Each structure stands twice: as C-alpha cells, then as structure tokens.
Amino acid sequence: MCGIIGLHLKNPGLAPRLGGLLTEMLDAMTTRGPDSAGIAVYADHEGDALRYSLRSDESTDWNLLARRVAAETGSDVRVEPLGSDSAVLGSPAAEALVLAAIRRLAPQVSVPGYGRSMAVVKDVGAPAAICARYGIPGWGGYQGIGHTRMATESAVTTAHSHPFAPAADLALVHNGSFSNYATVRRRLARDGIRCDTDNDSEVAARLIAARMAEGADLEGGLRTVLKEMDGFFTLLVTTRTQFAVIRDSFACKPAVIAETPDYVAMASEYHALAGLPGITGARVFEPMPEEIHVWSR
Amino acid sequence: MEPVILSCAELSTREINAALAALPDGACARVLEPRGRHNLAVGLSNRVRIDIEGNAGYYTGGLGQGPDVVVDGFVGWSVGENLQAVPGRDLAEGRDGPGRRERRSHERVHGTGRCHPGRR
C-alpha cells in the first residue's frame, strides 16, 4: 500500500497556501505509507535557470559546491540551503553539464529532481515530520504531488522514495506494483537509460521520460506505461504545465479526484481531500480503468 | 422522533458508532461532516435510520443487521459489505456518477446481499 496526493491550482489566489494544503493531504495518507515520503512542488521563478534539488546524507558545504559548479560550467550558480541535508542550486548552464559537474565534484550528493519550476524533497520517516523539516507548509506554487510509501518490493531509503523525477520538471508518484519492471529496465538500459535504484516505479518514470524525450506528449508517455508495463498502478504524473492521472486496466489501486473552479485535487482516499477549501461543492469522481485525465495550466 | 445529530468534526469514529449503536429501534440519526471517514455506521444491529450527509470512506454501513443507512455523497470501497439480515439496508445516494465504478459505489443495496463496490 502507498498513498498518493496531488493538487493542481487553477486559482492563483491559492498559490501561497499550496505547501500547507499539500502537507495536510500528505499527512492524511500516513496510514497508507508510514515508511517514507516525498513531494514535488512547482512554482514560477524569474529567469531561465534550471533549479536542481540536491540531497546529501554526508555533511556538504553547499556554497563551496556552488562555487565549484560555477567554475566548472563557466556560469553563475546560486544555492539556497534547504534543511540540513538539502539545497536548491540554480544554474542557467546546460543540464547535462551541471548534472555531470555535481556528480564529479560531489559524488555523495544526489539530485532527486530538477527543472525550471519543480523542487523535490524526499526522505525516510513520517510524512508530517518530513514536511515540517523542509518547511513545506510555507512553500507557495501552482501544483504539487506527494507520496507516502509502504515499501513492498525494494528497500526503504531516501533514494527509493517517491517522487521519481528523471527529467526536467517531470515527476511521478505511484501506488501499486509493477511485475515486469526488470524486463523494461533492461530494455531501457539497451537504449542507454540507467536507473539509479532497483525500484519498480523508477522504471515507469524513466520509461515516460524516454518517450517524452523522443517527442511524445505526457499522455503518449502514459499510454506507453499501459502498453509496456504489467502490474497494478495508479500514477500521478506532472510536468511544468500538466497534471495527469492514470490507472491500470483493472483499477486495482484507489484514486479519487475532486475538481472545483479553483483546483483539481487527487488522492488515494477521499479523506485526504476533505480539508481542502470548497471541497463540499467539488465534483468528486473515481477515474475509470485505463482512462487518462490531464489538466493543463 | 427528532433525529440525533452527530458530527465527525467533534467525535471520533468510535464515538459516532457507539452513539449509533445505543439508539433505540425506530430512532433516526444524522451524521454531519463525515470528511471521508472510513467505518462509519458499521456493526449496527438496531432498526434505525442513519443519514450520512457528505462524502464517506471505506466500509460505510457494513457488517450490520438492521439499520437503514443513506449516504448523500461519494463513498469509498466496500460500502454495505456483509449485511446479514433482511431488514438491513444500505443506500448510497451519489451526487454524480459518470462511470461504472462510481455508479457501483453508489448503488442501492437492499436486504441480505453482499456488496463490493469498486472491488476488483
């Protein structure tokens, strides 16, 4: 079992409350996944810099790393510490250059996600504690997704936690389990696409990213999962502009969507949505098997 | 008889279910602000009418024999499961139902049937 939640705002007036609302939703899903949790939050930022969410379990001098990445990539780098073990690094340089520089200069640092709009934090422990540690309730933005994990197929570590965000501004959370993910992972490896972990959900995220890199839109990427991957899944996948939900052919895993003029919200169980503003007037429904629901800003 | 009013904003699910179980036959109760709670109105054996006014969670009105349960809203999986006797009814009245699973979640269940809305 796992819990997933997401909120896509249509009314910019709610933007300052996004982090607080996501935190409450995620906390409500603790019963479905107390092992670990993570969240991807999208907000508008000035300029074209890509923002890299960094994480290190070893003590890391983020300012020193930023200066060294700046020297290596030949462009300005900004860094904002985030809690004791994380930071967000902004750089206008090409993503491959920056990712390679971080990998070489600080091999202990992982990059849970990056993009022009998206920041990702994830960790082992109770969802509410994780959100509090990174100050998520104070974050603003226009959409976010989150996950509470009850691990069934791979280890409980930060790296195995969701969201999986293998491409710029692309994030995925998954409730369920895939059965042929090792086969798909080998297929991806033949195309030069490597997974960081042995987690099944990461394979789905990388498959979607691969199809989108080839030119597919988000819906096309999700159709590829239906076609190529066996298993149970409710997936919530976001890009910089889109918010999408898909369920497997048997709708084995729960999903509830609530839509109002102000937002679209999704969760594994309705009670995660019950505290949202205006929820009593929302249109509440369960997405059908194999249906893809996409909202765009 | 005036309905007894119980609010999930003030009471735990156990407190609600204990209060419902203590009602005499023929009584009515309104459960307000269910907020998607699981296990509301389960395990009852009295002949009462219970209106749950809003969206409820899993197992609503199940494991019972006697009460009529009406949900005005969306319900989660396994509503009205394992109703044991002829008088037991579990009625879920959906506000909308665009699809098959949801209509199943909102179907009316009369009598002794077992109901597995949404279960696959």
3-class DSSP assignment, residue B20: helix
- For CA atoms B84, B88, B94, B97, the dihedral sign is positive
Q: H-helix or E-strand containing B91?
A: strand B89-93
Residue A201: predicted pLDDT:
97
Please list every residue in chain B whose beta carbon sits closer than 8 Å to the beta carbon of residue A288: 99-101
For residues A95 and A106, give the distance between their C-alpha atoms in angstroms, rounded to a whole number.
Answer: 16
Minimum Cα–Cα distance from A276: chain B residue: B35
Task: Give A3 to chain B, closest Cα distance, Å.
Answer: 15
Which amino acid, A93? A
The residues on A that touch B, with CB distances below 8 Å, are 250-252, 254, 256, 269-275, 280, 283-289
Q: H-helix or E-strand containing B19?
A: helix B13-21
3-class DSSP assignment, residue B45: coil
Q: Which among B55, B60, B72, B102 is the top mutation candidate for probing chain A, defined by the most A β-carbons within 10 Å of its own β-carbon?
A: B55
Identify whether the C-beta of residue A294 lies closer than 8 Å to the C-beta of residue A288.
no
Per-residue pLDDT of chain B (120 residues; tens, 9 = 90+): 799 999 999 999 999 999 999 999 999 999 999 999 999 999 999 999 999 999 999 999 988 888 888 888 888 888 888 876 544 455 555 443 333 333 333 334 333 333 333 332
Q: Do A271 and B35 touch (CB under 8 A)?
A: yes
Residue B93: predicted pLDDT:
53
Residue B97: predicted pLDDT:
34
Q: Among partner residues B74, B99, B118, which is closest to A270 by beta-carbon distance? A: B74
Identify whether the C-beta of residue A175 lies closer than 8 Å to the C-beta of residue A266.
no
Please list every residue in chain B whose beta carbon sits closer than 8 Å to the beta carbon of residue A251: 101, 118, 120
For chain B, give the longest Cα–Cα distance: 41
Q: Among partner residues B36, B57, B101, which is closest to A286 by beta-carbon distance? A: B101
For residues A190 and A39, give the distance between their C-alpha atoms in angstroms, rounded to a whole number.
Answer: 30
Confirm or reject contact between B55 and chain A (CB < 8 A): yes
Q: Do B98 and A285 touch (CB under 8 A)?
A: yes
Classify residue A156 as left (phi > 0), alpha (psi -120 to 50) or beta. Answer: beta
3-class DSSP assignment, residue B49: strand
Q: Among partner residues B38, B57, B102, which is closest to A286 by beta-carbon distance? A: B102
For residues A80 and A116, give the distance between their C-alpha atoms in angstroms, rounded to a whole number.
Answer: 15
**How deeply is A275 buried, as exposed, middle or buried, from its count of CB atoms within 10 A (0-12, 13-18, 19+)?**
middle
Concatenated DSSP letters of chain A? -EEEEEEEES-GGGGGGHHHHHHHHHHHTGGG--SEEEEEEE---SSS-EEEEEEESS---HHHHHHHHHHHHTS--EEEEETTTEEEEEE-S-HHHHHHHHHHH-TTEEEEEEESSEEEEEEES-HHHHHHHTTGGG---SEEEEEEE--SSS--STTTSSPEEEETTEEEEEEEEESSHHHHHHHHHHTT---SSS-HHHHHHHHHHHHHHTT--HHHHHHHHHHH--EEEEEEEE-SSEEEEEE-TT--S--EEEE-SSEEEEESSGGGTTTSTTGGGSEEEPPPTT-EEEEE-
Residue B119: predicted pLDDT:
32
**CA–CA distance from B45 to each of A285, B15, B32, B49, B111 (Å)?**
31, 16, 21, 12, 13
Interface size between A and B, measured as CB pairs under 8 A? 54
Minimum Cα–Cα distance from A258: chain B residue: B74
**How deeply is B24 buried, as exposed, middle or buried, from its count of CB atoms within 10 A (0-12, 13-18, 19+)?**
exposed
Task: Give B119 to chain A, closest Cα distance, Å.
Answer: 8
Residue A43: predicted pLDDT:
98
Q: Do B36 and A269 touch (CB under 8 A)?
A: yes
Task: Give B24 to chain A, closest Cα distance, Å.
Answer: 30
Classify residue A159 as left (phi > 0), alpha (psi -120 to 50) or beta. Answer: alpha
- The three-point CA angle A23-A24-A29 to 5° equals 95
Task: Give B25 to chain A, closest Cα distance, Å.
Answer: 31
Please list every residue in chain B whose beta carbon sits closer than 8 Å to the beta carbon of residue A289: 101
Residue B111: predicted pLDDT:
32
Q: Do A271 and B57 touch (CB under 8 A)?
A: yes
Residue A277: predicted pLDDT:
98
A2 in catalytic set:
yes
**Backbone phi, then psi, for B31, in 5-degree steps?**
-105, 115
Q: Do B57 and A280 touch (CB under 8 A)?
A: no
Identify whether the C-beta of residue B115 lies closer than 8 Å to the C-beta of residue B79.
yes
| Structure ipTM | 0.80
Identify whether the C-beta of residue B80 lies closer than 8 Å to the C-beta of residue B100.
no
Per-residue pLDDT of chain A (297 residues; tens, 9 = 90+): 899 999 999 999 999 999 999 999 999 999 999 999 999 999 999 988 999 999 999 999 999 999 999 999 999 999 999 877 999 999 999 999 999 999 999 999 999 999 999 999 999 999 999 999 999 999 999 999 999 999 988 899 999 999 999 999 999 999 999 999 999 999 999 999 999 999 999 999 999 999 999 999 999 999 999 999 999 999 999 999 999 999 999 999 999 999 999 999 999 999 999 999 999 999 999 999 999 999 999
Identify whether the C-beta of residue B55 lies closer than 8 Å to the C-beta of residue B76.
no
pTM value is: 0.89
